[in-house]
Structures are given as C-alpha cells and as structure tokens.
Amino acid sequence: MTEGAVLLLRLLLWLLPGLLAFLSVRSLLTGRIRVGLGLLVGAVLAVFLIKPIPVSLAFLLIGGLAALGGGRNPRYARELRERLEEWRK
C-alpha cells in the first residue's frame, strides 16, 4: 500500500470512535438506551484498539460532545433542553 492509502485508512480508523460516540449520544437522548449503550461499548473498544489511544480518545470526546449540540434547528434544541432537564430530576 502507498503512504497515502495508509494515511487515509489511519484517519478513517481514528474517526470511527467519534462517529460511534456521536450516534451513541444521539440514541441515548432519543430514549433508545440499549442501542446507545451498545454503540458506546463499540466506541470504547475502538478507542483501545486503535493506536495511539490519546488521538482516538480525543475523537471519542469530540463526537460525544458534538451530538449534544442542537445545531441550527430550534425545535430540536428545545426538545433536547427539555430531555436534559428531565434527566436531571
């Protein structure tokens, strides 16, 4: 394989924990607990299997935090705020 292919493969592998964390947090917020926990377990396993661990862990945290944002959709942001307040009770 060429260096470019290896670099692209490494980048995709580093992004995998972030994508799984993003999907996990979104599913947990919508109430699909088992799906969210399964995706979270997959994300954590991917972090520990993909070297270097600090880079994978950083992408995991970025993906999880990105899922909490409401984006530009005010209705989704309002519903998310209501769900988070409900969880705090």
pLDDT of residue 88: 76
What is the residue whose two structure tokens read 């292919």?
5
pLDDT of residue 77: 74
- Per residue in 21-72, pLDDT (tens digit) is 999 998 888 888 999 999 999 999 999 998 888 999 999 999 998 888 766 6
- Exposed/middle/buried for residue 9 (C-beta within 10 Å: 0-12, 13-18, 19+): exposed
Cα atoms in the Cβ-side hemisphere of radius 13 Å centred on 48: 5
Outline where 1-73 has alpha helix (H): 3-29, 33-49, 53-68
Q: Does the global pTM surpass 0.75?
A: yes
Does the pLDDT of residue 14 top 80, yes or no?
A: yes
pLDDT of residue 70: 62
Does the pLDDT of residue 76 top 80, yes or no?
A: no
Amino acid at 59: F
Euclidean distance between CA atoms 54 and 49, whole angstroms: 12
